[in-house]
Amino acid sequence: MDTLSRDSEAATFCVAALYRFTPFADFAALRDPLDRVCRDNGIRGTLLLAHEGINGTIAGSDAGIAAVLDHIRALPDCADLDVKFSRASAMPFHRMKVRLKREIVTMGEPEVDPLAVVGTYVEPQDWNALIADPDTIVIDTRNDYEVAVGTFEGAIDPKTATFRDFPAWFRAERDRLMAESAAAAAGRTPKVAMFCTGGIRCEKSTAFLKQEGIDEVYHLKGGILKYLETVPEDESLWRGECFVFDQRVTIGHGLVEGSHVLCHACRRPVNAEDVASPLYEEGVCCPACHAERTDEQRASYRERHRQEMLAATRGVAHVGAVRAD
């Protein structure tokens, strides 16, 4: 298996982020066999199945991940499954879930079909030149709390709470973005370049823009994960860290584990400055969510956190630990 090599033997778990857009005739029938092969191989994480395909992130031993990927690649039209590998020093998931969904990445635009039309893929090594071009509008398609942790230099932050908000944001801002671009000022048609964590959101966002009549649409192949793995830090235009949806919270260049922790009340990433704030309490709240929660809710979180700490001292997993997934 072509996993990411690491010098540190402490990074014992293989993490595989994967997706494939393909029409499954009966995706519900795929769930139980997939769940079984994951559990038989000690794999944890989340996999989503829908009529449009499969998406998710899983972790475990190299051999276990290889067995699961072999199973997925044997599914209809999944031989070319898109997979990004990284490493983790501790198991980044609490349990295994295989879920049936309407979409493998929720945009809420049923007519958008990445299999019918999609933007132009840009290899990580060619990305810098594209986004440095003044004729290019660069858009981060991720959620606001992800962008706050890190993004590409000069990228536009739509400040969306969920990916569902992206179509409405673009429709509202399209004319302004196009008119204010450097390309428009020079009488040229601007290019639009978009990126996301692993590439799957851009499959839909580029298809959406093409459907909206934007001709020159590009997206980063393999997403931020592939860029951080491929492009040397001294050549990188990435600033900050990249949020990932597991217990590592963030990763940096070379896909090494980052410096953020997770607020278990709101699931937002928390940096060192946030931890030093009087509004931060481990397991209870952070500066971003303190005003969003009541005293009663914080009391409940505080008791749950206390029970988890007691369970940890006994060397057992508290039932509340699974909430992080």
Among 95, 191, 88, residue whose Cα is nearest residue 134: 191
* Ramachandran angles phi, psi of 98, nearest 5°: -120, 115
Q: Exactly one of 14, 78, 196, 202 is catalytic; name it.
A: 196
Please give the structure tokens belonging to residue 44. Answer: 């944890």
Helices (DSSP H) in 78-142: which residue ranges?
Answer: 124-132
Chain centre distance of CA 259: 17
d(Cα 125, Cα 222) in Å, to the nearest integer?
A: 11
Is 289 a residue of the active site? no
Length of the chain: 325
Strand 217-220 and strand 191-195: the pairing is parallel
Q: End-to-end alpha-carbon separation of the chain, Å?
A: 26
d(Cα 21, Cα 41) in Å, to the nearest integer?
A: 25
Give me the active site residues, please. 196
